[in-house]
Structure formats: C-alpha cells, structure tokens
C-alpha cells in the first residue's frame, strides 16, 4: 500500500485546493432550484472552476467520465452524470466537486434540497451528515481506519438506515484516489494506523432502505437496488499531530 505523507508545503497546497472545492459548493447552492437541469449546474461549476478559480475540474475525462461534477439525485448513490433532466420540487441532490490546483486535489460533496424536502429525505441527509462528522472526529495519530468506519456504521444503523459498502473514502493528494481505502463500516481497532500528514476523504453513502446498489449501463451511475433514497456528504481531512484539520469547510462552517 502506497500511502503518501504530505510535507508542510504539500499540506498548504491541499488546504488551497480544499478551500477552492468548497467555494464551488458555496457558489452553486443558490442555483439549485426547480426547473434547472443538472447539465446547467455542471456548466456553471465548470466555468467557475476554470475561469474564476484558475483550477482544473478533476472528474472531467477521469477514466472517461464526461462531465466536470457529479450530480446524484434521489436514489442515485454516487457518480451521477449531469444531463438534461430538470430538477423538481422534492428532489434531493448530492453535488460532488473535486478541483486540482497546483497539482493537488480538493474533494468535497454536499446534499441540497429542491423546494421543501420530504421528512424522510431531511432525516436521511441529517443522519449521513452526522455520520460523516462522527467519523472525522475519530481521526488523529494512533487512531485506526476501522475506528472511522465503525463509528459511522453504528450511528447510521442506530437510525435504521444502511451504509453502502461497495464505495468508500480514499487517500488523496497529487492523485485523485490514493491509498488507503476508507471504509464507512467496520470494527474498532482494525485497519491502518493513522499518521500525521495523511490526507483522506470521509464520505459515507447512506441509504434509506437496504444497502445494496447497482451500477447502470453508463458505467458510472450507481443507484440503490430498492430505489430508496440515498444521501452523502464528503470532506477532505488532514491528520495532524494533535488530531485532524478539515480542508474543505465552506463559508458557513468557517464562520461558526
């Protein structure tokens, strides 16, 4: 396993990339509304990343992915491809943004509601958000990857939802997806020990129904097998000498 430990200079570049990725989500949030297509959201984000941030949208042409962001609606778990479908009231949408700046990646995603959400959708998104933060709070020198997954799994299943197991968090840096894999389920005191300078993503995918998923024929879009709603949040996090530092906080999180 080839885990990269970032130097202080590389950590600064990761901070910059993470801040820029978060700024894309801050920018696009007000444009998520009924009648807008996910292709239009992709176009706006692409222009902002390239022209305003002077950065690169990492998903574009990554292993053949055709767009600059991922847009996952309702029962789409992850890797939804932006298209001409118009958002409608009641939809729940995950926007997944990854930018490259000076050779380093910042990766983050958030849930958005179109109009007034269903009670189930609101609760699902909240539990996924809480699970992500509980997992992040496990990070620090000497902690193990299994601690992250165990904490997330216990919280999600306590709330009678399920954790997707086929897709997970990952190391990140110069590479979009580096070692190690960061599972969102597991047993405490198992897995790799965390070391200061590691940068990983924590990004639990939580289903309202069963955990099982399937990959559509486009080779990218992952949906719940039972068509239940799915929710996901993601942050890029640095392991520090004293704990952790979240690199992809948005404006609202930075001000609290």
Domain with 200, as residue range(s), is: 8-249
- List, for residues 60-118, the tens digit of each pLDDT value: 999 999 999 999 999 999 999 999 999 999 999 999 999 999 999 999 999 999 999 99
Burial class (CB in 10 A: 0-12, 13-18, 19+), 130: middle
Residue 105 tokens, joined? 């990646």
77 falls within a domain: yes
139 falls within a domain: yes
- Which has the closest alpha carbon to 141: 53, 219, 244, 218? 244
In this predicted structure, the answer to whether residue 255 has a pLDDT above a threshold of 80 is no
Report the C-alpha gap between 174 and 34 in whole angstroms. Answer: 37
Report the C-alpha gap between 30 and 72 in whole angstroms. Answer: 17
DSSP 53: S
Count the alpha carbons within 13 Å of 159 in the hemisphere toward its beta carbon: 21
pLDDT recorded at residue 252? 83
Report the C-alpha gap between 47 and 49 in whole angstroms. Answer: 6
256 falls within a domain: no
134 falls within a domain: yes
Report the C-alpha gap between 242 and 137 in whole angstroms. Answer: 12
In this predicted structure, the answer to whether residue 41 has a pLDDT above a threshold of 90 is yes
Residue 242's CB: how many other CB atoms inside 10 A? 9
In this predicted structure, the answer to whether residue 137 has a pLDDT above a threshold of 90 is yes
Contact 42, 67 (CB under 8 A): yes
Residue 205 tokens, joined? 């995918």
102 falls within a domain: yes
Mean pLDDT of 140-167: 98
- Which has the closest alpha carbon to 97: 254, 246, 234? 234
3 falls within a domain: no
CATH of the domain at 85: 3.90.230.10
Q: Given the structure tokens 């709330």, which residue do they identify?
A: 159
Query: 6: left (phi > 0), else alpha (psi -120 to 50), else beta?
Result: beta
In this predicted structure, the answer to whether residue 206 has a pLDDT above a threshold of 70 is yes
- List, for residues 218-232, the tens digit of each pLDDT value: 999 999 999 999 999
Contact 101, 57 (CB under 8 A): no
- Give the number of domains in the chain: 1
Residue 44's CB: how many other CB atoms inside 10 A? 17
1 falls within a domain: no
Q: What is the dihedral of CA 182, 187, 192, 194, to 10 degrees?
A: 80
Confidence of residue 47 (pLDDT cuts 50, 70, 90): very high
255 falls within a domain: no
């Amino acid at each position: 396993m080839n885990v990269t430990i970032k130097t202080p200079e590389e950590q600064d570049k990761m901070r910059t990339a993470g801040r820029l990725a978060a700024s894309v989500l801050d920018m696009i949030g007000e444009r998520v509304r009924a009648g807008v297509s996910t292709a239009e959201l992709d176009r706006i984000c692409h222009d902002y990343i390239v022209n305003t941030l002077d950065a690169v949208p990492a998903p574009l042409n990554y292993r053949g992915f055709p767009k600059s962001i991922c847009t996952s609606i309702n029962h789409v778990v992850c890797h939804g491809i932006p298209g001409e479908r118009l958002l409608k009231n009641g939809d729940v949408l995950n926007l997944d943004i990854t930018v490259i700046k000076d050779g380093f990646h910042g990766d983050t995603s958030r849930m958005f509601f179109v109009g007034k959400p269903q009670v189930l959708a609101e609760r699902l998104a909240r539990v996924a958000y809480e699970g992500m933060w509980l997992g992040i709070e496990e990070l620090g020198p000497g902690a193990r990857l299994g601690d992250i997954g165990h904490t997330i799994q216990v919280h999600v299943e306590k709330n009678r939802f399920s954790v997707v197991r086929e897709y997970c968090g990952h190391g990140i840096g110069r590479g979009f997806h580096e070692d190690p894999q960061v599972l969102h389920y597991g047993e405490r005191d198992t897995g790799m020990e965390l070391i200061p300078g590691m940068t990983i993503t924590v990004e639990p995918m939580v289903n309202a129904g069963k955990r099982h998923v399937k990959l559509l024929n486009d080779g990218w879009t992952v949906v719940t097998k039972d068509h239940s709603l799915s929710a996901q949040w993601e942050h890029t996090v640095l392991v520090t000498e004293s704990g952790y530092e979240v690199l992809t906080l948005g404006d609202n999180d930075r001000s609290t």
